[in-house]
Structure 1
Amino acid sequence: MFPSRAQLPQASRKGRRWRVAAVAATGLLVASILPTTGDAATTAAKSGWGQGTLTSSQLLSLVGQMTLSEEIGMVHGEGDPPNSAAATASCTASAVGCVGEAGWIPGVARLGIPPLRMTDGPAGVRLAHVETEMPAPVGLAASFDSAAAQQYGETVGQAGRATDQDVWLGPMVNEVNYPTGGRNFETLGEDPYLAGQIAAGEVTGAQSQGLITELKHFIENDFENGRSSTNVLIDDQTLHETEALAFQSAIQAGAGSVMCSYNRVNYVYGCGNSTTLGEVLREQLAFGGFVQSDWGAVHKTTDLVNGDDIEQSSGSNFSVTALTNAVQNGTPAVAATADYPAYPAISGAQWKQALDTAVYQILTTMNKADLLEGTQYGSHFTGAPTPWVPARADLASLQAGDAKAAESIAEDGATLLKNDDTVLPLAKADAKKGGLLVMGPTAVASYYGGGGSAHVTPYDGSVSPLTAIQATAGAANPVSYVPGYDLDGQLVPASALSAPDPAAGYPNWTLTSTDTGFAGKPGLLRQEITTASVASGAQPVLDLDPGATPDQLDGTVNYTGASTIPANTAFRWSGLLTAPANPGGTNWQLKVFVGNQTSSQLFVDGLATAQRRVSIGAYPKAPSSSYAGLSETARSHDPANPALQQASYSTTLTAGQQIHLDLRVVAGASPAQIQLRWVPPDNQAAAINQAVAAAKTAKKVVLFAYDDGQEGSDRGGSDQAAGLQLPGYQNDLIGAVAAANPNTVVVLNTGDAVLMPWASAVKGILEMWYPGQEGGTATANVLFGKVNPGGKLPITFPASATQQPMYDPNCTDTSATGNCPMYPGVVGPSPYVAGATTSYRTITGMSVNGIYEGYRWYDEHGVQPLFPFGYGLSYTSFSYSKLSIKGSASASGVDVTFTVTNTGSVKGSATPQVYIGPSPDLPGSVQQALRKLVGFSRITLAAGASQAVTLHINQQQLSSWADAANNWIVGTGDRTVYVGSDSRDPRVQKGFTLKS
């Protein structure tokens, strides 16, 4: 029996440590994970979570049979492996297989232990081929629906197993603490109770299909700026009462693995922090699965001793050489350095113990996922150990059902923020005689999801919001469209182009004698490139094909629709671009739009230096053929040419300045399309003027606006005021359009909060989040009232950049040596690294939030947000009545019962939320929220119908963590329960005395 890591030597730590709560003591590792009594194997009736038949002693025996190198192979990742033949066939009809896995460990084939394959998340299954892209997790959280969360998990679980995956790197349980955090769209909101309940549903759903979930990122990685170095200083109460609670709920739901984080916590890196990984995760939260590092987050081999079980994405620290030496010879004590605390000497036996423990915890989770049945102890053992995996569904068979799930969850998360004069729902009559006007880029090219490791490549063919709106309005009611926020520009006109003149010394051209007649004329000279080089797949050469199409002058480059580049040909256009007078400035963009190309390039300023400015690779690419997988700025927003993709080159041009252009495109087996466009400096003013003119004649305007959420950086950098703005000139556009037509509805595709300086000027605001691949249909269904919006905000929307929890009025210097600890990635004090980054947590002499995160901060400081946590309107209305409270702390909590009635005229979903006020009996040193969420339920009621709802508040929800007691303390005495539709709208409330 392997001792727990708590019995191993640990790195010394500075600062405070968390104390172990009495309820969390677990003793020896194996005893805390699986019972050791009764070794009789139970035969699994079917594949799914908890169906593995191996007992704890059998798992221990498997570990004991491994060689040292085999054990080491289990604790670090390797490159992308080949897939099984079955999974290959199910991935794509062309049988090119599934690639792009996040990582894997190889298993031990001779013992019947299969590889463990891992896919990114948490918005679906992220591999290098098409999958169903689910709504962003923040949209799922907006549903306030545990059943929807379980359906979300089941959908991902089935798809993950169908594509040969074993571990899903999700859900992401980090809180939205920074309103401009780059990965806020991946999270489940700002409240730990809500996040925990939604995460628990996802865990249950995914693991019911046999896909292991991996909660991330443990812990406090709530930002992207400086995430690999930022030090989060945090006190005991803040940790226990915020993010750790969400992890706790998901762990109690059975999550099989946890990912440790990049950041430091109280000066020690997350993946080598024995306090957070040992005392908090293993002992207090009783986690018994395996811990895996974020990719590149392991810093020392001793991280294995301190709680991390698997290093990804390689074995640079958990290497064969390092761990073999450690096991055979032990390691000496290491003194503290500028970056790391001191480490004690560790004997070889202790290293072996740590390695055994890590492998045992990996096998424990694999067993629960039914992945060890081919071992000598498994139900599929046939005389010789052979890796065995449960049957997997065919991916194609799941597509239709998964799309319906994605659409349903997008509709559930739709959050109506404003609906003055019942501007919504739309009616077909609104579109009569062109009365309905749609604008905004995400109306044409749907914004499916954010970027980074959460980005899923969705199936092609999904309906855009504009198309869905047009279809709902019907052919007899035409819907108009103008870009408004124009990301595409316009065709470069012939007046700005001129054919090359060989006499001017323009280099490297191969021209015929007739080409000199084109010199200086408006347009670009079009030439066909050698077709032999195209057929061979080589880079097209400049020599003309003697039998090619004669050279010609193209006034504009616009080969779309019926006019295309023939299959298996290649063309180039050459000449000069002369900048006209620039009334709006000197900043220009040159854009190349292409479709069905093998490749396309734009060279600028001469072929002598081959200065390529734009290069667009082959499209479609097998198996990654999804056009929808491109970023918003890489797609066309022209309804007449929606399938084109684009790339841009920005340049400064003064009036009359000339630059050389060489544009090329290679067509593959299908005809290709190409356009040469530009965005002049006055494009913004022209686009707004066009939108305003159209809005003045429309009955209603539906304007789509968006932001960009990306892994790796926070929106606006460390400038939260900038990050909270909609990109570009969208705010200016909305303000101008609303002034021209007050019947304007703004549809937001954002992953988190944005400022809305125009909120009072528009009549409707609908937050659709990043709604996944079926978001177009879902959006139209909500706009026209086929679906009644019932989503609630899982985050608070601030009224201004200075009225939110992370604004520090004492922070003045955001430079590399500045004094802004409230925002991560900015340098601050540290005992290790001079100027190591710090976060906003409780620090002596600095601004402190403590447990007052999200809506709790707004309540504590009396700040009115733009829209509060839990807020969301409906096309109907609801009342609350008959509130009663029964129970006590000694009876494991209280039951809150109330009645909800649909007082409106249409069917709709209500989401009653239960909040509890502070206790007068707790010590003054214990922070307490004015109100904290302790329960919610989503119910659907017909018009006039009523339903009694009972929600249980358990003992921990009635308690606060008291540092002095090192434990949870029940908050007895006179308390108040609030029931309402959001955190600022208590419809009914009742005082009661909580007895211990």
Structure 2
Amino acid sequence: MKLRTTLCFLLPIVKSALSYKTQLHQRDDLASSPPYYPSPWMNPKALGWEEAYKQAKDFVSQLTLPEKVNLTTGTGWQGEQCVGQVGSIPRMNLSALCMQDSPLGVRFGDYSSAFSSGQTIAASFDRDLMRRRGEAIGAEHRGKGVTVMLGPVAGPIGRTPDGGRNWEGFSPDPWLTGEAIAHTIVGVQNAGVVACAKHYIANEQEHFRQVGESQPRGYNITESMSSNIDDKTMHELYLWPFADAVRAGVGSVMCSYNQVNNSYACQNSKLLNGLLKSELGFQGFVMSDWQAQHTGVASAVAGLDMSMPGDTEFSSGKSFWGTNLTLAVLNGTLPEYRLDDMAMRIMAAFFKVGFKVNEQPKINFDSWTLDTFGPLYYSANEGHQQINWHVDVRGENGEHGKLIRESAAKSTVLLKNEGALPLKKPKFLAVIGEDAGPSGWGPNGCDDRGCNAGTLAMGWGSGTANFPYLITPLDALNFRAADDGTRVEAVLNNSATTQIEKLVAQESATALVFVNANSGEGYIDVDGNEGDRKNLTLWANGDELIKNVSSICNNTIVIIHSVGPTLVTDWYNSPNVTAILWAGLPGEESGRSIVDVLYGDVNPAARTPFTWGGKQEDYGAEILSELNNGEGAPQLEFSEGVFIDYRYFDKKNITPIYEFGFGLSYTTFEYSDIAIEKQEVGNYTPTTGETAEAPTFNPGNFSTDLADYLFPNGSFPYISRYIYPYVNTTASAAEASQDPFYGSTAEEFLPSNAIASSPQPLEPAGPGLSDEPGGNPQLWDVLYTVSAKITNTGDLKGDEVPQLYVSFGGPDDPPVVLRGFDRLAVEPGQTVEFRANLTRRDLSNWDTESQNWVVRDHVKTVYVGPSSRKLTLKATLD
């Protein structure tokens, strides 16, 4: 019998070409881009991956067809203990691999930490802190038995300031995000856990990201939103930090929910095969976001390596892969080398971070209950046993809590200070605002933090973790006041106007007003904010609260906990507002970290990782919140190109309230003596040559008899709704797939070259066969070294964050772009040297004709200063 796959595979294959368009009620001017096939196979000579490749090859070459399928297919939503698991391979002593959120702590874990958000840590401009935070988060995941930590985040990068998940990432500047994601990845993987860079790519808003979320809210769409981006913008902005992630050795990349140029990101061959695996030379594996997979073979040949959570719909028991993937290999629709490569990439990432098949840490927690005993297979309510061991992974002597306190304090930005800070044993503190105190429901009282009650220390959604404790600002202020003999009174109701006015009107009052603004993932709606923020105002009438207090109290200090910029126009310049601090989303040590800064135990040096505009329209790019393509995919046009955040403000000559990179200190600094040292390097040479042919490690080592793939009754129990690689009938492939349709052969449906196995040309902008992944290695040649002198002219020791910006000089370039920074500790009167290298990539534009990076002839100017708008020093590059 000749096996043929089912129509559920073959119809969507047409969609994997980027020109696919929704058939119903759509415009006829939709963006598209060309397909890119075949899916690149691993390179055994890729620098840094050689040993992992050897170990993976030895392992994968011993696997049967069902075992390889088991490794690539999730077992289903709530199938086991983690948010995602692939099937185990008992014969090879490989336990199920555990995929677990989140980028700021172990989601659903107990006795684990709640770290500061990525956006908050970006404000530190401190690479060492980024790495140490990543290592601590990785260690906690490892301690809970996690294989792949689902983070860090570079998508969203923050195209618009109101994007719901911006706080999970780092900054709308790609250079800062690239540095932050790379150092975080190094830390996570040093701890022995695979990092997963996400969400790839152009995942810039929550509105319309999934049909299933949109329809219940009254948006009658049949396809997820398409982010439409040109080639230059893709390379110079959105792909940039993912290149840094690949160069840092990241083991996994998660593709996103949205479409890009009208092809779903998880089956977009140009994105996965072309940009990620060919141009960047990525050697790890691509996993889908949860239910972001829409096809079977189409997604496999387009570059997807792991299906998460494995089922087509949560807890349905049906899968695009699993049994269907087994059948696809048997009938030749999916070439064996592609399945081998999928398994190779997964196992190479596994071995690269130090895992061993016989010594995997046991999964000792459960995502679905904190009970000690319960069902191992939660969806099926089967396998009752101990599932939680309540292991404390927070480091010895609370060391991770200390790191969180340090991180949050070093990431607090002092935006204004008229001599009000630091506090010195104040006589009377009036603490005002709901954000200063606890939630009446407790810190974990809302699922996935899906509410805004009490002090804000993290946003909502899958990027969260349970608080083991949460020290509120009022908690920490009370303890400090007890030591100093300060009187403290608080009103924690923003609407208690009479009580607030009475309190702050008292003589010698210093008013500390705590306010916030929240956002999160799109499956949760908080007060009408469908993930994305409805506006940039403070929540719970925070702006009115500040204006009311400052109209009475002439020493009003404002502390903002937020997921990004808020509009401060109406009150920031009031003479009675004597200080403003942005504390981001600080995590469990919120109170102690802000008190450390308020009292000067930590001299602030953080810089705002985004721009604070005077009004929302100042940012240019907007959230798409209205349908514009009938029932088809909403079309989000990235027409602003690379001009987001400060780049847009600079282009349009808009004066911000606080510019990107701005932040004050309790001491003062002077900049002097900029110098340029030109390095001797050769000319840039595009990569040439070809790959080897596609390797297959056990060619033909499988039977084509369906009877050999029947579920092995007696070997282990069948679990309801669990995804297996086996068939349950030998009648026919169509019946085995449990699908009513019956398709035809691969040749009739797969795009041209989709299953080619011959050597393929290397990308000119990509790495050679013996190079480090991340792109052409010459892009990291240092062309110039820029130095400057920084002097502390004040009376206090403090850190300073000098920043290097470059003007490319072209008519279509941003006026300046960030290309370097450091965080330097400087004693009073001391002068230190700031040094930063400029690589070829730092000075290049993407050329769409040559499909490569080019240093153009325009005169380039470098600037060094404490922010993007205060560029004290200037020099021209030769």
Of 780, 789, 802, the match for 2:595: 780
Pick closer, same or farther for the CA change 1:312–1:942 going to 2, 3 Å. same
Pick closer, same or farther for the CA change 1:315–1:19 going to 2, 3 Å. closer
Of 68, 73, 97, the match for 1:71: 68
Please name the residue that 1:559 is paired with.
none
CA positional deviation for 1:824:
2.9
Structure 1 residues 781-796: aligned runs within 5 Å? 781-796=596-611
Which residue type is aligned with residue 624 of structure 2?
P
Please name the residue that 1:914 is paired with.
804
Pick closer, same or farther for the CA change 1:458–1:415 going to 2, 3 Å. same
Please name the residue that 1:702 is paired with.
512
Of 744, 754, 769, the match for 2:556: 744
1:364 equivalenced with 2:348 (yes/no): yes
Which residue type is aligned with residue 466 of structure 1?
L
Pick closer, same or farther for the CA change 1:935–1:837 going to 2, 3 Å. same
CA positional deviation for 1:840:
3.2
Please name the residue that 1:232 is paired with.
227
Asked if the contact 1:80–1:100 (Cα under 8 Å) also holds between the matched residues in 2, the reply is no
CA distance in 2, matches of 1:134, 1:719: 21
The alignment yields a C-alpha RMSD, in angstroms, of: 2.7
Pick closer, same or farther for the CA change 1:799–1:450 going to 2, 3 Å. same
CA distance in 1, matches of 2:609, 2:632: 34
Asked if the contact 2:254–2:288 (Cα under 8 Å) also holds between the matched residues in 1, the reply is yes
Please name the residue that 1:975 is paired with.
860
Local SS of the residue matching 1:29: coil
CA positional deviation for 1:704:
0.5
Local SS of the residue matching 1:894: strand
Structure 2 length-normalised TM: 0.74
How far does the alpha carbon of each residue in 1:171-204 deviate from its partner, in whole angstroms, 9 at most, with x for none?
0112111111111111101101000101111111
Please name the residue that 1:932 is paired with.
817
Please name the residue that 2:284 is paired with.
289
Which residue type is aligned with residue 509 of structure 2?
K
Please name the residue that 1:452 is paired with.
461
Of 168, 184, 206, the match for 1:202: 184
Asked if the contact 2:44–2:53 (Cα under 8 Å) also holds between the matched residues in 1, the reply is no
CA positional deviation for 1:476:
5.9
Of 128, 134, 155, the match for 2:136: 155
Pick closer, same or farther for the CA change 1:184–1:9 going to 2, 3 Å. closer
Which residue type is aligned with residue 306 of structure 2?
I
Q: Which has the higher contact order (CA 8 A, sep 6+)?
A: 2
Asked if the contact 1:227–1:262 (Cα under 8 Å) also holds between the matched residues in 2, the reply is yes
Local SS of the residue matching 2:323: helix
Asked if the contact 2:44–2:50 (Cα under 8 Å) also holds between the matched residues in 1, the reply is no
1:31 equivalenced with 2:54 (yes/no): no
How far does the alpha carbon of each residue in 1:86-134 deviate from its partner, in whole angstroms, 9 at most, with x for none?
xxxxxxxxxxxxx962211133121133321122011112134231111
Please name the residue that 1:426 is paired with.
423
Structure 1 residues 309-708: aligned runs within 5 Å? 309-316=305-312, 317-329=319-331, 347-348=332-333, 350-372=334-356, 374=358, 395=393, 397-398=395-396, 400-420=398-418, 422-428=419-425, 430=426, 432=427, 435-445=428-438, 446-460=455-469, 462-474=470-482, 477-483=485-491, 485-486=493-494, 684=495, 687-697=496-506, 698-708=508-518
CA distance in 1, matches of 2:194, 2:58: 23
CA distance in 2, matches of 1:690, 1:147: 45
Please name the residue that 1:895 is paired with.
785
CA distance in 2, matches of 1:834, 1:775: 44
1:732 equivalenced with 2:544 (yes/no): yes
Pick closer, same or farther for the CA change 1:55–1:236 going to 2, 3 Å. closer
CA distance in 2, matches of 1:193, 1:26: 31
CA distance in 2, matches of 1:10, 1:19: 10
CA positional deviation for 1:890:
4.0
Local SS of the residue matching 2:872: strand
Asked if the contact 1:877–1:902 (Cα under 8 Å) also holds between the matched residues in 2, the reply is yes
CA distance in 2, matches of 1:165, 1:241: 34
- Which structure: larger Rg? 1
Structure 1 length-normalised TM: 0.65
CA positional deviation for 1:80:
7.8
Local SS of the residue matching 1:733: helix
Asked if the contact 1:32–1:288 (Cα under 8 Å) also holds between the matched residues in 2, the reply is no
CA positional deviation for 1:62:
2.7
Which residue type is aligned with residue 452 of structure 1?
G
CA distance in 2, matches of 1:709, 1:719: 6
Please name the residue that 1:169 is paired with.
150
Pick closer, same or farther for the CA change 1:57–1:149 going to 2, 3 Å. closer
Please name the residue that 1:11 is paired with.
16
CA positional deviation for 1:9:
11
Structure 2: unaligned runs, 5 residues or longer: 1-12, 20-30, 211-223, 313-318, 360-389, 439-454, 683-780
CA positional deviation for 1:27:
11
CA distance in 1, matches of 2:642, 2:395: 46
Of 847, 850, 867, the match for 2:658: 867
CA positional deviation for 1:721:
8.8
Local SS of the residue matching 1:107: coil
CA distance in 1, matches of 2:548, 2:185: 45
Of 235, 249, 260, the match for 2:244: 249
CA distance in 1, matches of 2:343, 2:205: 31
Pick closer, same or farther for the CA change 1:719–1:308 going to 2, 3 Å. closer
Asked if the contact 2:519–2:531 (Cα under 8 Å) also holds between the matched residues in 1, the reply is no
How far does the alpha carbon of each residue in 1:146-189 deviate from its partner, in whole angstroms, 9 at most, with x for none?
10000001111111111111111000112111111111111101
CA positional deviation for 1:791:
0.7
Of 802, 809, 823, the match for 2:623: 823
Local SS of the residue matching 1:361: helix
Of 85, 105, 110, the match for 2:91: 110
How far does the alpha carbon of each residue in 1:847-883 deviate from its partner, in whole angstroms, 9 at most, with x for none?
x311111110111111111211111111111111110
How far does the alpha carbon of each residue in 1:882-904 deviate from its partner, in whole angstroms, 9 at most, with x for none?
10112168463110011111111
1:836 equivalenced with 2:633 (yes/no): yes
CA distance in 1, matches of 2:347, 2:403: 32
How far does the alpha carbon of each residue in 1:453-489 deviate from its partner, in whole angstroms, 9 at most, with x for none?
12211223x4321121222233563433332544xxx
Which residue type is aligned with residue 209 of structure 2?
R
CA distance in 1, matches of 2:344, 2:230: 32
CA positional deviation for 1:18:
7.6
CA positional deviation for 1:928:
1.1
Please name the residue that 1:218 is paired with.
200
CA distance in 1, matches of 2:394, 2:407: 21
Asked if the contact 1:701–1:744 (Cα under 8 Å) also holds between the matched residues in 2, the reply is yes
Pick closer, same or farther for the CA change 1:477–1:55 going to 2, 3 Å. closer
Local SS of the residue matching 2:877: strand
Please name the residue that 1:40 is paired with.
none
CA distance in 1, matches of 2:35, 2:310: 33
CA distance in 2, matches of 1:119, 1:706: 28
Asked if the contact 1:917–1:975 (Cα under 8 Å) also holds between the matched residues in 2, the reply is yes
How far does the alpha carbon of each residue in 1:356-380 deviate from its partner, in whole angstroms, 9 at most, with x for none?
21111101111112224549xxxxx
Pick closer, same or farther for the CA change 1:412–1:65 going to 2, 3 Å. same
How far does the alpha carbon of each residue in 1:557-595 deviate from its partner, in whole angstroms, 9 at most, with x for none?
xxxxxxxxxxxxxxxxxxxxxxxxxxxxxxxxxxxxxxx
Pick closer, same or farther for the CA change 1:766–1:786 going to 2, 3 Å. same
CA distance in 2, matches of 1:466, 1:719: 28
CA distance in 1, matches of 2:139, 2:339: 32
Please name the residue that 1:306 is paired with.
302
CA positional deviation for 1:54:
5.5
CA distance in 1, matches of 2:55, 2:514: 58
